[in-house]
């Protein structure tokens, strides 16, 4: 009940934004393309936020996710080029993808190991690795990106659902107009003769990145709710000493948690790389703030022990739709920063207020 | 039954402090009942009593932390009523608590003058030189060698005590309360502190000295007042008393029928601890516990009782020693090892080391038991709740359901959540550290019955407690800890509370 109410607020805000935009900008906002676009854009941040949810529930923080994203992408792309040359294709892309994901996993493991073995606060360790991973990303190719022009699948690929046969006609006034001639299921092919001047086939479907996001949502949600790792994450965040006294291997589980986050960042990094068909050493600068904001707006507590995957998804979507809405309404990105900052503070303040009210009610009994 | 001395034979002389008929009640607990307490000027007055006798409450009334329900306070003949600690401070009362409250990264001088800094020539500037000079002078007067510019963090506990004394003197304290000042001091530091305390007495300051170490009191104090169950049972000059007499006044109450009859059959040796030592103040402790036996562990605060449990349970690193369970030697390096070796440990501080307060009750109950209940890989929340509810029923927890968060429960029910946790673990060897602390009488009785039932099931139980009556009521045998060593191992039937208290409080020669 309590949990439900807590998530109602961000969810309500999310709905409010969607309704507002739907009313003001129905033509541009209420389109399938726009929604798919928002989801696709939020998949990278969303996947990282899933990992961050674990870290924050455990009472920690990971400031290095943005740099880790750049580093993992650079390493993955470097591996592609090392295996497949200038324009890597096929197996080289697969190998590179796994190298990138593994790099993320390793970075997360490193964070976890430093935090537990050196007994340092997560804030300090990840502040350090944030700087170090970024530095390595710059050093790798002298500040230049690695281009992988054929690495499109994760970023632009789709699971085909239907395809349209379109013809572009020249209007009398010189403008071009698109005309849909036919809608076909993905497996139907059309007469090759039809593919002549102006007629083309456009596939439609769910972007791969969204599918990956959904898969990871399911994995993260399941692990958090139905496994000991998830349970121990809550216990460590709620009371680390008590968890230790109850036989929880705190250090080992913290390493798992940070490694899991690293793994998620690695996956997100390869999607981001594919989207721009290049690995940028500047990718993900100040990304950690957006991620932490999403998790916190979703109801997680920075002091640990509280948070859910559902909340995080709502938080991530809230930020994405806010950005999208601002863009559609012609609000500059600079002003967007102000709006998002205000939202973070309002969300947490309202949550705190609701909690202290609930506590007051409890104590009065 | 020892006769309670109620006629007024309180000490004569110039009276520095007179507390008359002070009462204080916390909910159902009468913490202080008509306590009258008189301290002569320029004397050391020892205040003794078992844990929970009301010493701390009385001192908190004196220092303005608690407002008494009734009663009056006179200091040097003038009546006072304190609402705030600052007022008590201004009236010349200084408290030196067991946990010293010094600002660790500031210097001695800064601490001594904290909050009452000497103003310098310019506004917002303090006169550091003058303060350092004054601190040095004061230390010298007390014949005490201390660098006034040393940072407190680098001082020994003994030196910190002295800094507290200087702080009190700088505030012109006429009455200084010292709460267990020697509990964490070495012998030589304690000796030095005694010297300072005597010096203060010589300067006309009254010291209220709270300690469990009776030999110290007989040595140092002029007068002694014994509290028991929130009442003054005796107040007299120390010279007229000896240690056994004081002990008798402290414990003098009879066991009531509060405790369940013991009829567990005691079997073979189950637990054997050999020469256990740890850095956490445990020195070569050996004992055995048979199956079906409840072994109590007594000792003063800081005697190393909890530390023995922590060393067994893999919380503190053992520096030596072996632990056997049913003849098998255990390798324990962490609580996780201990739990899988079939040991349970109910810690004394349920909020700090026991519960995850904001998580559901069921999660708290199953936390160490997930593997045990077949949820090693996948947790089945419905089944988990059912298991938790079943074990909760056995200890009759009052809750809104297994999903209610622990912080929605009362203290006694929170404790029962932890007991349910370890009942579910169903371990062979169970350690209970102060399981009845801070819970009401009814819940206490339930816990005694439960311990008894566990013993009847053939478990080996180590029961650590600061309350002698409950040890005598429930334990078959009592181990007595003194300064990290085992000072006694006695059959309950063949000893007395006086003997146990003596072993716990008095240094063996």
Instruction: Give me the mean pLDDT over the A144-157 stretch.
Output: 90
User: To probe the interface with B, which of A5, A244, A245 has the most B CB atoms within 10 Å?
Assistant: A245
The band of A363, judged by pLDDT with boundaries at 50, 70 and 90, is: very low
**Which pLDDT does position B254 carry in this prediction?**
47
**Which pLDDT does position A340 carry in this prediction?**
80
- b vs e for A158-193, b when ≥16 Cβ sit within 10 Å of the residue's Cβ? beeeebebebeeeeeeeeeeeeeeeeeeeeeeeeee
Identify the top-confidence range among A330-344, B186-200, B418-432. Answer: B418-432
In chain B, residues with a C-beta closer than 8 Å to the C-beta of A362 are 408
In a domain, B192, yes or no: no
Cα–Cα distance measured from residue A337 to residue A278, given in angstroms and rounded to the nearest whole number: 26
Q: Which of A178-182, B357-361, B454-458 has the lowest mean pLDDT?
A: A178-182
Instruction: Give me the mean pLDDT over the B161-174 stretch.
Output: 87
Query: Is residue A2 predicted with pLDDT exceeding 60?
Result: no
**Which pLDDT does position A5 carry in this prediction?**
64
In chain B, residues with a C-beta closer than 8 Å to the C-beta of A244 are 315, 335
Phi–psi pair at B89, nearest 5 degrees: -60, -45
Please judge whether B368 and A238 are an interchain contact, meaning their C-beta atoms are less than 8 angstroms apart: no
The rounded percent of chain A whose pLDDT value lies above 70 is 92
* Residue B334 shares a structural domain with residue B275: yes
List the one residue out of A272, A316, A277 whose CA is nearest residue A72.
A272
- Report yes or no: B428 and B326 within 8 Å, Cβ to Cβ: yes
Phi–psi pair at A243, nearest 5 degrees: -60, -45
CA distances from A128 to A55, A115, A121, A123, B313 (A): 17, 11, 11, 9, 36
Query: Is residue B410 predicted with pLDDT exceeding 90?
Result: no
In chain A, residues with a C-beta closer than 8 Å to the C-beta of B336 are 247-249
Cα–Cα distance measured from residue B218 to residue B210, given in angstroms and rounded to the nearest whole number: 12
In a domain, B414, yes or no: yes
The rounded percent of chain B whose pLDDT value lies above 90 is 40
**Which pLDDT does position A194 carry in this prediction?**
66
Q: Which of A116-125, A169-178, B39-48, B98-107 has the lowest mean pLDDT?
A: A169-178
In a domain, B155, yes or no: yes
In a domain, B199, yes or no: no
- Report yes or no: B35 and B58 within 8 Å, Cβ to Cβ: yes
Instruction: Give me the mean pLDDT over the A40-65 stretch.
Output: 95
* Residue B287 shares a structural domain with residue B303: yes
Cα–Cα distance measured from residue B502 to residue B214, given in angstroms and rounded to the nearest whole number: 9
Please judge whether A226 and B381 are an interchain contact, meaning their C-beta atoms are less than 8 angstroms apart: yes
Last residue of a domain, one of B253, B285, B310: B253
Query: Is residue B257 predicted with pLDDT exceeding 70?
Result: no
* Residue B421 shares a structural domain with residue B432: no
**Which pLDDT does position A126 carry in this prediction?**
96
Phi–psi pair at A170, nearest 5 degrees: -85, 120
The rounded percent of chain A whose pLDDT value lies above 90 is 54
DSSP state of B123: T
Instruction: Give me the mean pLDDT over the A33-42 stretch.
Output: 85
Alpha helices in B64-186 (DSSP H): 85-90, 108-112, 128-141, 157-170
Instruction: Give me the mean pLDDT over the B38-43 stretch.
Output: 93
Q: Does B359 touch chain A (CB under 8 A)?
A: yes
Kindly state the tokens that stand for B505.
């409080």
Residues forming a β-bridge with B381 = none
- Report yes or no: A50 and A312 within 8 Å, Cβ to Cβ: yes
Instruction: Walk me through the domains of chain A, giving residue ranges and CATH numbers.
Output: 2-154+207-360 (1.10.3470), 158-206 (no CATH)
Query: Across chain B, what does the average pLDDT equal?
Result: 86
In a domain, B504, yes or no: yes
Last residue of a domain, one of B426, B456, B484: B426
- Tell the burial category of A363 from Cβ atoms under 10 Å away from its Cβ (0-12, 13-18, 19+): exposed
Measured between CA atoms, the residue of chain B closest to residue A242 is B353
β-bridge pairing B29-40 and B15-26: antiparallel
Measured between CA atoms, the residue of chain A closest to residue B363 is A231
Q: What is the CATH number of the domain that holds B441?
A: 3.40.50.300
- Report yes or no: B162 and B196 within 8 Å, Cβ to Cβ: yes
Coil/strand/helix, residue B278: strand
| Tokens 């995850």 sit on residue | B356
Kindly state the tokens that stand for A171.
């209007």
**Which pLDDT does position A3 carry in this prediction?**
58
The band of A157, judged by pLDDT with boundaries at 50, 70 and 90, is: confident
* Residue B6 shares a structural domain with residue B85: yes
Instruction: Give me the mean pLDDT over the B181-195 stretch.
Output: 79
* Residue B180 shares a structural domain with residue B82: yes
Instruction: Give me the mean pLDDT over the A54-77 stretch.
Output: 96
Query: Is residue A352 predicted with pLDDT exceeding 80?
Result: no
Coil/strand/helix, residue B480: strand
Q: What is the pLDDT of residues B50-84, one digit of tens each?
A: 766 888 889 989 988 888 999 999 998 888 888 88
Q: Extract the runs of DSSP E, i.e. beta strands, from A42-175.
A: 146-147, 158-170
Higher pLDDT, residue B422 or B87:
B422
Query: Is residue B197 predicted with pLDDT exceeding 70?
Result: yes
Query: Is residue B11 predicted with pLDDT exceeding 60?
Result: no
**Which pLDDT does position A193 carry in this prediction?**
67
Alpha helices in B296-345 (DSSP H): 305-312, 335-340
Residue B439 belongs to what domain range?
Answer: 255-342+427-509
* Residue B406 shares a structural domain with residue B367: yes
Query: Is residue A135 predicted with pLDDT exceeding 50?
Result: yes
List the one residue out of B348, B400, B437 whose CA is nearest residue A242.
B348
Query: Is residue B203 predicted with pLDDT exceeding 50?
Result: yes
- Report yes or no: A57 and A235 within 8 Å, Cβ to Cβ: no
Rounded to a whole number, what is the distance in Å from the CA of A283 to chain B's nearest CA? Answer: 37
Query: Is residue B256 predicted with pLDDT exceeding 90?
Result: no
Query: Across chain A, what does the average pLDDT equal?
Result: 88
Coil/strand/helix, residue B287: strand
Instruction: Give me the mean pLDDT over the B238-261 stretch.
Output: 74
Q: What is the pLDDT of residues B28-40, one digit of tens each?
A: 678 899 999 999 9
Please judge whether A228 and B370 are an interchain contact, meaning their C-beta atoms are less than 8 angstroms apart: yes
Instruction: Give me the mean pLDDT over the B301-319 stretch.
Output: 90
**Which pLDDT does position A162 carry in this prediction?**
83
List the one residue out of B408, B271, B275 whose CA is nearest residue B343.
B271
The band of A202, judged by pLDDT with boundaries at 50, 70 and 90, is: confident
* Residue B431 shares a structural domain with residue B485: yes
Please judge whether A247 and B335 are an interchain contact, meaning their C-beta atoms are less than 8 angstroms apart: yes
In chain A, residues with a C-beta closer than 8 Å to the C-beta of B335 are 244-247
**Which pLDDT does position A282 carry in this prediction?**
94
Last residue of a domain, one of B234, B253, B272: B253
**Which pLDDT does position A358 carry in this prediction?**
59
In a domain, B162, yes or no: yes
Cα–Cα distance measured from residue B318 to residue B303, given in angstroms and rounded to the nearest whole number: 17
Instruction: Give me the mean pLDDT over the A44-57 stretch.
Output: 96
Cα–Cα distance measured from residue A238 to residue A243, given in angstroms and rounded to the nearest whole number: 8
In chain B, residues with a C-beta closer than 8 Å to the C-beta of A231 are 363, 367, 370, 379
Nearest beta carbon to residue B357 from set A239, A247, A249: A239
- Report yes or no: B159 and B146 within 8 Å, Cβ to Cβ: yes
* Residue B247 shares a structural domain with residue B260: no
Coil/strand/helix, residue B9: coil
**Which pLDDT does position B100 carry in this prediction?**
74
* Residue B240 shares a structural domain with residue B366: no
Instruction: Give me the mean pLDDT over the A170-193 stretch.
Output: 75
SS3 of B210-258: the string is ECCCHHHHHHHCCEEEEEECCEEEEEEEHHHCCHHHHHHHHHCCCCCCC
Please judge whether B370 and A239 are an interchain contact, meaning their C-beta atoms are less than 8 angstroms apart: no
Nearest beta carbon to residue A245 from set B315, B375, B380: B315
Q: Does B406 touch chain A (CB under 8 A)?
A: no
In a domain, B496, yes or no: yes
Please judge whether B367 and A243 are an interchain contact, meaning their C-beta atoms are less than 8 angstroms apart: yes
* Residue B418 shares a structural domain with residue B460: no
Rounded to a whole number, what is the distance in Å from the CA of A84 to chain B's nearest CA? Answer: 40
Query: Is residue B441 predicted with pLDDT exceeding 70?
Result: no
In chain B, residues with a C-beta closer than 8 Å to the C-beta of A228 are 370-371, 375-377, 379
In a domain, B194, yes or no: no
Q: Which stretch of DSSP H or E encloses residue B473?
A: helix B468-474
**Which pLDDT does position A243 carry in this prediction?**
96
β-bridge pairing B206-210 and B175-179: parallel
Please count the structural domains in chain B. 4
Q: Which residues 6+ apart lie within 8 Å of A283 measured at CB?
A: A66, A69, A70, A73, A137, A269, A272, A273
List the one residue out of B157, B230, B142 whose CA is nearest residue B189.
B157
* Residue B338 shares a structural domain with residue B476: yes
Higher pLDDT, residue B128 or B260:
B128
The band of B2, judged by pLDDT with boundaries at 50, 70 and 90, is: very low
* Residue B179 shares a structural domain with residue B85: yes
Cα–Cα distance measured from residue B226 to residue B249, given in angstroms and rounded to the nearest whole number: 7
Kindly state the tokens that stand for B203.
């300067």
């Amino acid at each position: 009940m309590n949990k439900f109410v807590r998530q109602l607020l961000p969810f309500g805000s999310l709905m409010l934004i969607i309704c507002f935009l739907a009313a003001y900008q129905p033509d541009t906002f209420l389109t399938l393309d726009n929604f798919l676009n928002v989801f696709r854009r939020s998949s990278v941040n969303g996947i990282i936020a899933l990992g961050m949810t674990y870290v924050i529930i455990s009472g920690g923080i990971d400031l290095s996710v943005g740099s880790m994203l750049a580093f993992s992408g650079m390493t993955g792309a470097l591996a592609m080029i090392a295996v497949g040359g200038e324009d890597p294709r096929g197996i080289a892309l697969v190998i590179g993808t796994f190298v990138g994901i593994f790099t993320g996993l390793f970075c997360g493991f490193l964070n976890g190991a430093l935090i537990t073995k050196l007994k340092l606060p997560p804030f300090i360790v990840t502040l350090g690795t944030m700087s170090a991973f970024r530095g390595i990303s710059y050093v790798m190719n002298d500040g230049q990106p690695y281009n992988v022009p054929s690495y499109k699948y994760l970023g632009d690929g789709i699971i085909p659902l239907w395809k349209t046969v379109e013809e572009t006609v020249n209007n009398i006034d010189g403008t071009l107009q698109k005309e849909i001639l036919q809608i076909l299921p993905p497996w139907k092919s059309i007469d090759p003769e039809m593919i002549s001047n102006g007629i083309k086939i456009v596939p439609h479907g769910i972007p791969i990145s969204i599918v990956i996001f959904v898969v990871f949502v399911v994995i993260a949600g399941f692990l958090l709710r139905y496994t000991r790792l998830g349970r121990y994450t809550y216990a460590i965040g709620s009371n680390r000493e008590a968890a230790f006294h109850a036989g929880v291997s705190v250090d080992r589980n913290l390493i798992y948690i940070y490694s899991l986050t690293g793994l998620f960042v690695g996956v997100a990094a390869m999607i981001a790389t594919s989207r721009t068909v290049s690995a940028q050493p500047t990718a993900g600068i100040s990304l950690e703030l957006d991620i932490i904001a999403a998790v916190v707006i979703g109801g997680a507590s920075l002091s640990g022990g509280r948070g859910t995957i559902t909340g995080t998804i709502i938080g991530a979507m809230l930020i994405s739709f806010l950005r999208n809405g601002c863009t559609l309404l012609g609000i500059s990105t600079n002003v967007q920063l102000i709006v998002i900052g205000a939202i973070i503070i309002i969300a947490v303040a309202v949550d705190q207020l609701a909690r202290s009210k609930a506590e007051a009610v409890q104590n009065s009994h | 039954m020892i006769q309670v001395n109620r006629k007024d034979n309180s000490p004569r002389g110039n009276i520095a402090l007179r507390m008359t008929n002070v009462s204080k009640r916390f909910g159902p607990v009468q913490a202080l009942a008509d306590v009258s307490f008189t301290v002569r000027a320029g004397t050391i007055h020892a205040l003794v009593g078992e844990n929970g006798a009301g010493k701390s409450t009385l001192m908190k009334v004196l220092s303005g932390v608690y407002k008494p329900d009734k009663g009056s306070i006179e200091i040097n003949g003038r009546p006072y009523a304190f609402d705030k600690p600052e007022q008590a401070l201004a009236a010349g009362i200084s408290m030196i608590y067991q946990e010293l409250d010094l600002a660790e990264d500031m210097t001695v001088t800064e601490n001594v003058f904290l909050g009452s800094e000497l103003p310098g020539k310019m506004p917002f500037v303090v006169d550091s030189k003058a303060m350092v000079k004054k601190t040095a002078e004061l230390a010298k007067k007390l014949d005490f060698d201390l660098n006034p510019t040393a940072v407190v963090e680098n001082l020994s506990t003994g030196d910190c005590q002295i800094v507290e004394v200087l702080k009190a003197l700088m505030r012109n304290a006429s009455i200084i309360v010292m709460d267990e000042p020697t509990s964490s001091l070495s012998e030589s530091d304690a000796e030095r502190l005694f010297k300072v305390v005597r010096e203060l007495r010589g300067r006309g300051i009254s010291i209220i000295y709270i300690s469990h170490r009776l030999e110290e009191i007989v040595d140092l104090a002029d007068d002694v007042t014994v509290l028991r169950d929130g009442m003054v049972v005796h107040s007299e000059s120390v010279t007229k008393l000896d240690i056994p007499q004081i002990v008798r006044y402290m414990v003098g109450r009879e066991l009531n029928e509060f405790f369940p009859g013991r009829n567990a059959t005691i079997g073979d040796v189950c637990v054997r601890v050999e020469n256990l030592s740890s850095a956490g103040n445990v020195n070569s402790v050996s004992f055995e516990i048979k199956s079906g036996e409840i072994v109590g562990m007594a000792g003063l605060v800081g005697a190393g009782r909890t530390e023995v449990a922590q060393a067994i349970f893999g919380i503190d690193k053992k520096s030596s020693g072996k632990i056997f369970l049913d003849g098998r030697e255990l390798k324990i390096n962490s609580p996780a090892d201990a739990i899988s070796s079939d040991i349970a440990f109910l810690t004394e501080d349920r909020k700090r080391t026991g519960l995850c307060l904001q998580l559901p009750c069921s999660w708290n109950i199953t936390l160490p038991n997930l593997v045990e209940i077949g949820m090693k890989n996948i947790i089945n929340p419905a089944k988990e709740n059912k298991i938790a509810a079943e074990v909760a029923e056995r200890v009759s927890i009052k809750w809104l359901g297994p999903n209610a968060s622990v912080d929605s429960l009362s203290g006694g029910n929170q404790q029962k959540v932890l007991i349910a946790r370890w009942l579910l673990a169903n371990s062979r060897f169970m350690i209970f550290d102060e399981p009845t602390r801070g819970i009401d009488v009814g819940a206490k009785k339930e816990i005694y019955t439960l311990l008894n039932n566990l013993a009847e099931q053939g478990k080996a139980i180590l029961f650590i407690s600061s309350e002698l009556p409950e040890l005598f009521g429930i334990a078959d045998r009592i181990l007595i800890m003194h300064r990290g060593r085992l000072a006694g191992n006695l059959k309950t039937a063949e000893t007395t509370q006086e003997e146990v208290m003596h072993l716990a409080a008095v240094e063996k020669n």
